[in-house]
Amino acid sequence: MPEQRQTIAALSHLLGAGEVSSRELVQASLDRIEEQDKELNAFITVTAEQALAAADAADLARANGTAGPLAGVPMAHKDIFCTAGVKTTCGSRMLENFVSPYDATVVERLADAGMVSVGKTNMDEFAMGSSSETSYFGAVKNPWDTARSPGGSSGGSAAAVAAGLVPMATGTDTGGSVRQPAALSGVTGFKPTYGRVSRYGIVAFASSLDQAGILALSAEDAALVTQVIAGFDERDSTCSPAEVPDYAAELDAPLKGKTIGIPKEYFDAGLDSACGDAVHAALEVFKQQGAKLRDVSLPNLSLAVPTYYVVCPAEASSNLSRYDGMRFGHRSEDAGDIESLFKNSRTEGFGDEVKRRIMTGTYVLSAGYYDAYYLQAQKVRQLISDDMQRCFDEVDIIAGPTTPTPAFKIGEKIDDPVQMYLNDIYTVSVNLAGLPGISIPCGSVNGLPAGLQLIGPHFAEARVLNFAHRYQMETDWHKQVAGGGQG
């Protein structure tokens, strides 16, 4: 059997050469989950029977010569992707027993490619959080230090990949929820351009910000998976019809003559100095490959978090209004009339962070405050987007830290929402502008991973993946395994 942490590219090669079967890979993944997940709490649901049946189908397809390159590789889905016949809980009591009648487009396309889902990963409730502590099913633990958070909201996916339970897991990124846990857990986290991947079947949080993403071991793996899930879907009116390029074909393009923008605002007093040193060391690797560095400015960066936390809760309050105890989801047994049914079902079904965001969003959308808050936030959102675009008029890519600190302890920030929100300072502007971004491991801070974020212009996924891949060809941070050693 292959080692515990193997990339999709490596596993695909082994499967193609007949050195291992999909059933063996999937069974090994299930065994690791059984052995390690009691401590990590990365999974909400494990679908062993379905996974082994899908593995057998993939092995048969390979034997018949009809399998694609990803067929038979195990993976997992964040529990916000609707999956037919499997619980989709969003980490909430509200959907604790909800079984989806259909597949999300991302789920459908990966299944069509022959990838084998072994289960659904834990997450912050309705993707609202940056630490994977708000889940109704308990906090996720970071494999590097189980007293620490793996990040969020896609923390279960990040922890599962970091621990080698699966080589890849899906995530969603509304304000950094793929890239931030990737940085804190020492894996690669890729968020495509808004509209590049269909949102159909992803339980909505903030519709103008949500985007499906990938947590994997390398940029090459992210390219292979994005190739499958990207592209137009008529069931999502926000999905772009733009042609999908061959991402893998552009991974090795030389960086000589390319320019990397370094926003001065990223390196202020809020950044842990050791994280800053790791990022600066990473930038030197790009210089050695012929890329040029240029100082740029994002003058409205300080407004990104407050803008996000007006726009995001406003959309969440609207999207979550459907959970009323009547049609689906949790229904309170303590109700005497329709009003108490609505109130009690929502009170019992939602956790504190979700309630906080619903209340905030309802407030900023109310008649007396809409212009002062929501409308103003949309104007600032455009300024933030304009800042990014001006940078791309001068540089090919923007680089900086993904998070201001390495992984923090569980419980350290959960009672201070503002401190928790500030953990997304470097990531939320990418969502506000709808841009593609990736976080890759770039160093170690007191034995914990540090993340480098690379951001590209709209639909420049190939460029972002190219820069990340070239960095990973020259370094081995992405190969480091929790507990020491290399994968």
pLDDT at 108 over 60: yes
Buried b (16+ CB within 10 A) or exposed e, 377-388: beebbeebbebb
Query: Is 177 marked active-site?
Result: yes
Catalytic residue among 22, 29, 78, 191: 78
- Asked if residue 448 lies in contact with residue 395, where contact means CB atoms within 8 angstroms, the answer is no
* Bridge-based pairing state of the strands 212-216 and 397-401: unpaired
Q: How many CB atoms lie within 10 A of CB 135?
A: 28
- Compute the average pLDDT of residues 66-85: 98
Query: Is 340 marked active-site?
Result: no
- What tokens does 160 get? 């599962």
Catalytic residue among 29, 132, 177, 439: 177
- What tokens does 313 get? 């809760």
- pLDDT of amino acid 164: 97
- pTM of the complete model: 0.97
pLDDT range class, residue 7, cuts 50, 70, 90: very high
Sign of the CA dihedral running 217, 218, 223, 226: positive
pLDDT in tens, 290-299: 999 999 999 9
* CA-to-CA separations, 232 to 69, 162, 292, 462, in angstroms, rounded: 21, 31, 35, 17
pLDDT at 386 over 80: yes
Nearest to 41 by CA among 179, 135, 114, 125: 135
Nearest to 16 by CA among 78, 57, 49, 59: 59
- pLDDT of amino acid 482: 87
Catalytic residue among 22, 132, 149, 153: 153
- Compute the average pLDDT of residues 185-214: 98
Query: Is 317 marked active-site?
Result: no
pLDDT range class, residue 2, cuts 50, 70, 90: low
- pLDDT of amino acid 269: 79
Distance in angstroms (rounded) separating the CA atoms of residues 148 and 150? 7
- pLDDT of amino acid 1: 52
- pLDDT of amino acid 130: 97
Ordered structural domains, the chain, with CATH? 8-254+436-479 (3.90.1300.10)
- pLDDT of amino acid 327: 85
- Compute the average pLDDT of residues 306-313: 97
- Across the chain, mean pLDDT equals 96
